[in-house]
A and B are shown apart, each in its own frame.
Chain A
Amino acid sequence: MSDPLLIWSYLAQGPLLWLTATLVAYLAGDAAFRTAGRQSWANPVLVAVILLAVLLWATDTDYATYFEGAQFVHFMLGPATVALALPLYDNLPRVRKAALPMLAGLVAGSGVAVLSALAIARAFGIGGPVLASLAPKSTTAPVAIGIAESLGGQPTLTAALVLLTGIFGAIVVTPLLNMLRIRDWRARGFAVGVAAHGIGTARAFQVNATAGAFSGIGMGLNAVLTAIIAPLALRLFGG
């Protein structure tokens, strides 16, 4: 019989262990979400991230080693984004009809996301590269990183801020919009897609197919608009 430590050190270096752990943590998160009656605070991404963070800490594993295995799951973000074409295609007549409301929601949501984030951070005395890293935080991660780099921000900090924004947005969207009495699924989905990108879109799909389709569109349009307004807004706040 082999030494368990040897087996561990073999497994801990290969992708199998962390790929399996990622899938199991997600299934646990999804189970928690269902057990909690699909309540938004039991966000499956949040639960899975906490479980994996504790596991990495307990086994003294660094993120780079973890990512060796988890990159196969991470890679699927690209094809899943392309697959958003299907709900968009299915809803094309409704999307055409909602062109003007979407334009209004995009300009308001995207503009408020960038300007208010910079204004609040400035009030707390944050400036320089951290401010530049914060500006594109509502945008989908690959675009946000590109924008942050061109503004002189720190791409890794941006990635973390983007994810925290997405998780927070996905958790608050349902109670917030219930409180504001917004009943239109199109508006609810679109707004969370603009403000909280793909994680918001994943939440929207959990709740309603129409909300999911409009959320995907909001995410895509916000990526374009933020690329244009983030540099202007940053100049305004002297970042």
Chain B
Amino acid sequence: MIQTLAIILSFQLAGEITSRALSLPLPGPVVGLIALVLACILRPALATRIRPAATGLLSHLSLFFVPAGVGIVAHWDLLRMHGIGLAAALTGSTLLAIAAGAWAFTLVARLTGSEEPAALRDQGRE
């Protein structure tokens, strides 16, 4: 557990240093993610070693957003000032973006024949 955490943190640290040194548009953890995928390709045993801890972290991904989420309260006045416009922009564009992204993905998957029957959702069940 501690060993795995050290591995994951080392990749985050390396990502942070790379991102800042090369002033990449990506944050350190995302660079660390890419580096870790490459490391797993080169050494598949690494994937086996980090699996239990990584799965544990990801199964509670929602938890890690809570502290920043409470920050909404701190900006409540600012949000309320532009209330309706911001709410409309936020909800409208999120609905449109999800629909457009999913629709474009499925359309191109159909056109290029890269559909995957196994990835289809069971009907009527979530």
Contacts and interface: CB of A to CB of B under 8 A. Distances in A.
Nearest to A70: B67
Contacts of B98: 109, 169, 172-173, 176-177, 191-192, 195-196
Contact of A83 (B8, B30, B75, B91): B8
B101 A108 contact: yes
A166 B64 CA distance: 13
A35 to B, nearest CB: 16
A143 to B, nearest CB: 5
A176 B30 contact: no
Contacts of B75: 156-157, 159-160
Contacts of B57: 76, 79-80, 83
Nearest to A108: B104
Contacts of B115: 184
A125 B62 CA distance: 34
A168 B91 contact: yes
Interface string B95-124: 111111111111111001011100111010
Contacts of B64: 73-74, 76-77, 80
A151 interface: no
A176 B12 CA distance: 35
Contact of B94 (A70, A165, A198): A165
A77 B102 CA distance: 26
Interface residues of B, number: 81
Interface of A is mostly: helix
B26 to A, nearest CB: 6
Contact of B89 (A74, A106, A120, A143): A120
B105 A126 contact: no
Given A112-B93, A137-B90, A192-B98, A73 B67 contact: yes
A92 B86 contact: no
A20 B33 CA distance: 29
Nearest 8 Cβ contacts at the A-B interface: A109-B101, A124-B85, A105-B105, A191-B101, A70-B67, A108-B104, A85-B36, A113-B97
Interface of A: 22-23, 25-26, 29-30, 38, 43-46, 48-49, 52-53, 56-57, 62-63, 66-67, 70-71, 73-74, 76-90, 92, 94, 97-98, 100-114, 116-118, 120-121, 124-126, 130, 134, 137-138, 140-143, 146, 154, 156-157, 159-161, 163-169, 172-174, 176-177, 180, 182-188, 190-192, 194-196, 198-199, 201-203, 205-208, 210, 212, 216, 218, 220, 223-224, 227-228
Given A74-B67, A116-B92, A196-B94, 7 more contacts: A22-B66, A79-B57, A81-B12, A88-B33, A184-B116, A185-B120, A195-B98
10 contacts: A25-B66, A70-B66, A81-B32, A104-B105, A113-B93, A116-B92, A121-B89, A161-B90, A174-B126, A195-B97
